[in-house]
Structure 1
Amino acid sequence: MFRATRPTALSIVLTLGLAACGETATLQVADGTGAAPKLPAPNATTFPTVNIAPAIGWPQGAKPTPAPGLAVAAFAQGLDHPRWLYVLPNGDVLVAESNAPASDQKPSGIKAWVAGRVMKKAGATVPSADRISLLRDADGDGVAELRTVFAKDLHSPFGMALVGDEFYVANADSVWRFPYREGDTSIAGKGVKVTDLPAGINHHWTKNLIASRDGSKLYITVGSNSNVGENGMEMEQGRAAIWELDRASGKKRLFATGLRNPNGLAWEPDTGALWTAVNERDEIGSDLVPDYVTSVQDGGFYGWPYSYYGQHVDVRVKPQQPELVAKALAPDYALGPHTASLGIAFSRGSALPAAYANGLFVGQHGSWNRKPKSGYKVIFVSFKNGKPDGVPADVLTGFLDGDENALGRPVDVRLDARGALLVTDDVGNTVWRVTAAAPGA
């Protein structure tokens, strides 16, 4: 493998010519969505397609564009790279202000250097605030008047869950437990480490978690340490997976594997199935591989790195594991290639119009490696009988301006206590609140 410790002439050329790298999509994004997406032949390139949306933030007074029948306003602004949300039983909203750990080791080489430049241009390299803030709308006007530091001195916090009086946080390297009493605006008690999580070189640092409906288990996402195992499969132990942790005993086991980078987690209200959003692999073209949402089977294997979208073999991975590929499960629903779909929330209990009564909201952070760009919006996937039904519908758009700069980038989605949809925006440093439009608006 070629390695470089500083930019080479070739890497500088690559950086200056990023817009010319790779190839152009031939599929409309819609072709890569649904229960049976159109999958073209792979188009491997020496270097990945790079098509960055430079992060510039929102002009004064600007905001995303809601779908007809919806309205959007800022719930909280001036946050520091807000990523993940959690709504407490009393209606308080927690937001993890977080980014990749500064202490993580970074792989070297031309591709890694280019990727670093991509991240910087996309606004993804700001230091992590390492805190969780509490937002409270005390007067019910849809704006958080109270903001406090709920927890600090964390390590790239992401997922959160409350079970009884125990509040759990998934850091980049571990899960911690803190005491909580209803109405608390900050955590006063000392935390206890529950379990370590794979860390070190974090190709994917975000760790999410969700409690089972009876509160006895936690389910924890851990992304892969590479694109397709190029760092060696010994570096992937315990990764590209969802773990199940028994709260009483502290024991954990692999619940599902072969999920390259699972992020959002949610319980489907009719079937009770666990669903997740997964970011798939890169460098085989702008049209591959679709990111997806899927129900997660206990013991299920979903292909990574040996195959994608079921049993489509990725010939870059050697040696192959045909016995594993033969067991690879196809996901339930494709969301389009390189959309970086992250947060998910089922709509049951929403106060939005009837069109959003039964389905899944998805926050799409947006591509950096596709021509044309994909994602950069919040979508809704309707459900019927516990499964996706129909094509995705836009909920919130306008995150790119006419020059394809990123005014904002949606991350997580969550229903608040009154059924409005909250959306984190880590470029706009805002939590947006989507409601039904006023009559006649």
Structure 2
Amino acid sequence: MKALALAASSALVFASTALAQQPQAPGNLERLGEFRHTDTPMEIPTVPQGGTKAAALKKNLAKVKVPKGFKVSLYAIVPDARHMAVGPQGVVTFVGTRKTKVYAVTDRDKDRVADEVKEFAPSIAFKIPNGVCFSRDGMLYIAEQNRVLLFPAAEFFYESADVAAFNVVKQGDLIPPEEESYNHTARTCRIGPDGRLYVTLGQPFNVFAPEKMDLYKKTGIGGIVSLTNEGKDRQVFAWGVRNSVGMDFNPKDKTLWFTDNQVDGMGDDIPPGELNRADKAGMNFGFPYFGGGKVRTTEYKDQTPPADVTHPQVEMAAHAADLGMMFYSGKQFPAKYQGGIFVAQHGSWNRTKPVGARIMFTSLKPDGTADKTEVFADGWLTEDGEYLGRPVDVAQLPDGSILVSDDFAGAVYRISYEGR
């Protein structure tokens, strides 16, 4: 009830703002902000969950290797599945894409297999709605290429085509419109322990030109920005980040960890991918002077890097494409995994012999820094270099099992522990 009350209160605040800024001819987003109907059909088609598609996915999953006692199974068929946000009440999981849709995935009978998958908020025209995240009180945020939207109590009111929706960062204000690109545009988001909204902003180039430096530093492109949950007081939290597509806060010490995809075209084995740790605002993580780890970029090799560069906690395999990550806070998995980090590696597109397409696990030392990194789930990439799937993100269900999204196969998998 508390979550619903807070959601309703916030909805009224955002509604008054929307009314004050109402254009002469409001579109669907403005109508939804005023709690008005749109002309969108109320019946939302569902994505079929059985048949030959499901059979083929289950057959491929038989090739995936997980540690003894663990089981990987098909949770849902979700087209283009990217980043995920599990509702705080365990009612529904929202799945973003790099296209124009967000999906709502529901397991009504709690058998740990989705019963229903359908488009969320079809009355809204999304553009690359990759990043989805929840606040503790049930507010769903969706970070698009150049906009952030808020959906109060979406976990409970997602059934309709029309849902309450409000601008947090209006279209064109997340980055300068002239910096919009087809490259590195998948945003991710998290609500921090301080209640602020954090958004990753990948820069659009392999290595950007020096004349972009001042603009990118100012706007946080090539970094992580934070804002109030109403979209105000924008700050650049971290910079020197090439293209982060995954972050999470350590619940124990409140530090922000994030993955980073590094420079292409330097060879098969350099530079390494990165898993980084930020224990305060204002840190610099080295790009564009460093292409990954301590490997210098060709473009900036003659320039002196900033003295305060922080290098990664973990150097991952080069070009494995580390994307979504999460701290494991559940109790289902053995003690070894509790409090550690799971990372999804999407897999190489630019390596003569591909690597990745797997889930990695990193344990932490008592001081909160990285300890050991190892492969946790592997097998979506065959020995012949053929992809059976490409993991994007990891998320935790209330029972302590984890979900893995796959935009190549269009699926979400569940990894559970059944050993005792």
Whether 1:65 aligns to 2:44 is no
Task: Give the corresponding residue for 2:126.
Answer: 154
Task: Give the corresponding residue for 1:108.
Answer: none
Task: Give the corresponding residue for 2:20.
Answer: none
Deviations 1:179-229 (A, max 9, x none): 3255223461243242422252242011111111242x1111000111111
How far apart, in 2, do the equivalents of 1:92 and 1:431 lie?
16
Whether 1:278 aligns to 2:222 is no
How far apart, in 1, do the equivalents of 2:228 and 2:96 lie?
27
Task: Give the corresponding residue for 1:263.
Answer: 245
Task: Give the corresponding residue for 2:378.
Answer: 397
Deviations 1:364-411 (A, max 9, x none): 001122243221100111112212112x22221110234221110000
Shift of residue 311 of structure 1?
Answer: 5.7
Whether 1:315 aligns to 2:285 is no
Question: TM-score, normalized by length of structure 1?
Answer: 0.74
Cα distance change on mapping 1:65 and 1:317 into 2, 3 Å: same
Shifted more, 228-237 versus 427-436: the winner is 228-237
1:305 to 272, 285, 288: 288
Cα distance change on mapping 1:283 and 1:350 into 2, 3 Å: farther
Amino acid at match of 1:69: G
Does the Cα contact within 8 Å between 2:88 and 2:138 map onto a contact in 1? no
Task: Give the corresponding residue for 1:330.
Answer: 311
How far apart, in 2, do the equivalents of 1:368 and 1:58 lie?
24
Whether 1:141 aligns to 2:111 is yes
Does the Cα contact within 8 Å between 1:301 and 1:328 map onto a contact in 2? yes
How far apart, in 1, do the equivalents of 2:394 and 2:138 lie?
24
Does the Cα contact within 8 Å between 1:161 and 1:167 map onto a contact in 2? yes
Task: Give the corresponding residue for 2:362.
Answer: 381
Amino acid at match of 1:412: D
Amino acid at match of 1:307: F
How far apart, in 1, do the equivalents of 2:141 and 2:180 lie?
21
Does the Cα contact within 8 Å between 1:307 and 1:325 map onto a contact in 2? no
How far apart, in 1, do the equivalents of 2:57 and 2:310 lie?
44
Cα distance change on mapping 1:59 and 1:387 into 2, 3 Å: same
How far apart, in 1, do the equivalents of 2:119 and 2:295 lie?
46
Specify which structure has the higher proportion of helix: 2
Amino acid at match of 2:312: P
2:391 to 410, 414, 421: 410
Deviations 1:59-112 (A, max 9, x none): 6632133222210111102x211001001111134343422xxxxxxxxxxxxx
How far apart, in 2, do the equivalents of 1:413 and 1:341 lie?
11
Cα distance change on mapping 1:332 and 1:194 into 2, 3 Å: same
Whether 1:197 aligns to 2:170 is no
Does the Cα contact within 8 Å between 1:207 and 1:220 map onto a contact in 2? yes
Does the Cα contact within 8 Å between 1:87 and 1:416 map onto a contact in 2? yes
Amino acid at match of 2:129: P
Does the Cα contact within 8 Å between 1:92 and 1:134 map onto a contact in 2? no
1:65 is paired with a residue of what secondary structure?
coil
Task: Give the corresponding residue for 1:125.
Answer: none
How far apart, in 1, do the equivalents of 2:253 and 2:224 lie?
19
Deviations 1:112-144 (A, max 9, x none): xxxxxxxxxxxxxxxx2x222111222221101
Task: Give the corresponding residue for 2:85.
Answer: 86
How far apart, in 2, do the equivalents of 1:230 and 1:286 lie?
24
How far apart, in 1, do the equivalents of 2:376 and 2:331 lie?
13
Amino acid at match of 1:333: V
Shifted more, 88-97 versus 151-160: the winner is 88-97
1:433 to 407, 414, 418: 414
Question: TM-score, normalized by length of structure 2?
Answer: 0.77
How far apart, in 1, do the equivalents of 2:283 and 2:80 lie?
34
For the aligned residue pairs, the C-alpha RMSD in angstroms reads 2.3
Shifted more, 248-257 versus 272-281: the winner is 248-257
| 1:224-239 matches, cutoff 5 A | 224-230=203-209, 233=212, 236=216, 238=219, 239=221
Does the Cα contact within 8 Å between 1:225 and 1:231 map onto a contact in 2? no
2:405 to 421, 424, 427: 424
> Which protein has greater RCO, CA pairs closer than 8 Å, 6+ apart?
1
Cα distance change on mapping 1:338 and 1:139 into 2, 3 Å: same
Amino acid at match of 2:199: I
Listed as ranges, the gaps of 5+ residues in structure 1 are 1-56, 100-127
How far apart, in 2, do the equivalents of 1:301 and 1:170 lie?
23
Amino acid at match of 2:174: L
Task: Give the corresponding residue for 1:53.
Answer: none
Shift of residue 281 of structure 1?
Answer: 0.9
Task: Give the corresponding residue for 1:175.
Answer: 148
How far apart, in 2, do the equivalents of 1:375 and 1:249 lie?
36
Task: Give the corresponding residue for 1:119.
Answer: none
How far apart, in 2, do the equivalents of 1:93 and 1:393 lie?
31
1:325 is paired with a residue of what secondary structure?
coil
How far apart, in 2, do the equivalents of 1:59 and 1:73 lie?
9
How far apart, in 2, do the equivalents of 1:403 and 1:379 lie?
21
Deviations 1:250-304 (A, max 9, x none): 1201111000011211111221101111111111111211111111231111111
Listed as ranges, the gaps of 5+ residues in structure 2 are 1-54
Does the Cα contact within 8 Å between 1:267 and 1:275 map onto a contact in 2? yes
Amino acid at match of 2:285: Y
How far apart, in 1, do the equivalents of 2:411 and 2:154 lie?
27
How far apart, in 2, do the equivalents of 1:270 and 1:97 lie?
28
How far apart, in 2, do the equivalents of 1:399 and 1:158 lie?
22
How far apart, in 1, do the equivalents of 2:385 and 2:295 lie?
33
Does the Cα contact within 8 Å between 1:277 and 1:294 map onto a contact in 2? yes
Does the Cα contact within 8 Å between 2:169 and 2:231 map onto a contact in 1? no
Amino acid at match of 2:203: S
1:389 is paired with a residue of what secondary structure?
strand
Task: Give the corresponding residue for 2:33.
Answer: none
How far apart, in 1, do the equivalents of 2:120 and 2:298 lie?
47
